[in-house]
Amino acid sequence: MTESIYFHALHILEDNCTGCTACVRVCPTEAIRVRDHKASIDPYRCIDCGNCINICRFHAIIPICDSLEIIHNFKYKLAIISSSFFGQFTEDISYEVAKQAVLDLGFDQVAEEASVTDFMINIIRDYIRKNREKRPILSSNCPSVVRLIQLKYPSLLPSLFHQEAPMSILTRYLRDKISQEYGLEEKEIGIFLIVPCIAHVTAVHQPEGAYKHLQDGAFSIGMIYGKVRDSLKYLQNNPPSIDTYPKGLTWALSGVQADLVDCDDIRALSVNGVENVMEILSRVEDHYLDQYDYIVLRTCTNGCVGGCLNVENPFVAMSRIKKMIKEGKEEDYDTSELYELYEKGEFTVVPLAPRPIMELDKDIKKAIQKMKQINEFLTMLPGLDCSACGSPTCYALAEDIVLGKASIDDCVVLLKRHSKDTEEDEDKKNKDT
């Protein structure tokens, strides 16, 4: 395969791969193939949903995140924490303790995605009211959803909410603020995200719609969780005084954002799970959901709490966050400067382009001929879509055969049929003699 122009925050450990094809069956974009008992990922089709990581019981597909040591390359170090982080801890670990534990890892400041939730809800409503002709407007908070639309539903790109996500808005705002307050150059300030999924890691290293890289690295929630565990007991006995934003933690939960956006003149819908998201996007394309003004889409179960870089079960994490929201003391976060920047268009992203999938052939005549060949092979295949061949469907196998990436002999069903027919022929021959 030629070198990809796309970065992906995952890696296959070939020594661990058994060729079981479990990853092939759960990939929503048919990006994975198994050949010679080893999996490979097509970088042009991958959307970093993390399904393959979650399903692989051999740990053959692993996430790639930055190392915590890179923070020491900067004079001033800021961590921005995803709201789902706080659902990972047992209920005896307070919100404040978890946040202070991250600060103690060597950061000069810790900020929360949750701090700008109210601001985000207001600008989403404002955007919807100014862009009624685009309804339903699709949320762009989940990078995996954005890539899915680019890949499989490009006609819906104009309907995406064209503003930065909360952590990127905080990045832009706080980098300028820190630079002015401490007299530091931008390159001296390191801003890092603590994220629940590989899609957010990929978005840091290869942002979609941004004019430049906003953050300097991304750490998995699971890794940070492991780093802070040792300090939790001390902090519990010496509770810190630190600002928290429990109401804003709703951003990590599926359904809540839509509920908050929903009001008298705006109707919102929430969808989670990549298969459900794909079904809804197909219905949006067919104009079956034009009654909605805004649709929140997350590829992970229950929203960001279901990301593959978390450590806790998404349902348990969601329950814990809801408890924090209910019992927490709300701190005010001054968003007046953010509104000023929003009015100036500082958080508007570049319109996104479709992600082309590999062509059958650059020559249109050859491409048509290959399409005919695909259909010919398809008539020969059983149509079971069992994935035993290493391709996700019979059509995908036919395509792989024509492109020289597979053989008709990879079809296990056909081989069994051929073997059975051979045995029957031999038996008949023996009987005749």
Low-confidence ranges of the chain (pLDDT < 70): 1-4, 209-212, 330-331, 358, 420-433
Residue 376 has a pLDDT of 93
> pLDDT tens digit string along 86-99?
999 998 888 888 99
> pLDDT tens digit string along 331-376?
677 888 999 999 998 898 888 889 877 677 788 888 899 999 999 9
Tokens 């953050």 found at: 215
- For residues 246, 248, 253, 257, the Cα torsion angle rounded to the nearest 10 degrees is 150
Report helix, strand and coil shares of the chain as percent, to nearest 5: 50, 10, 40
Contact of 5 with 45, CB cutoff 8 Å: no
User: How many CB atoms neighbour CB 210 within 10 A?
Assistant: 16
DSSP states of 16-85: T-----HHHHH-TT--EEEETTEEEE-TTT-----HHHHH-TT--EEE----GGGGGGSSEEEEEE-GGG
- Cα–Cα distance measured from residue 140 to residue 306, given in angstroms and rounded to the nearest whole number: 17
Q: What are the backbone dihedrals phi and psi of residue 227, each rounded to the nearest 5 degrees, phi first?
A: -70, -35
Contact of 271 with 298, CB cutoff 8 Å: yes
Count of H-run helices and E-run strands, the chain? 15, 11
Which pTM value belongs to this model? 0.90
One-letter amino acid of 88? Q
Per the structure block, which two tokens stand in for 425? 């022929």
31-52 in b/e form (b: 16+ CB < 10 A) is bbbbbeeebbbbebbbbbbbbb
Q: State the sign of the Cα–Cα–Cα–Cα dihedral 218, 223, 227, 232.
A: positive
347-385 in b/e form (b: 16+ CB < 10 A) is bebeebeebeeeebeeeeeeeeebeebbeebbeebeeeb
Domains of the chain: 1-64 (3.30.70.20), 68-343 (no CATH), 359-433 (1.10.15.40)
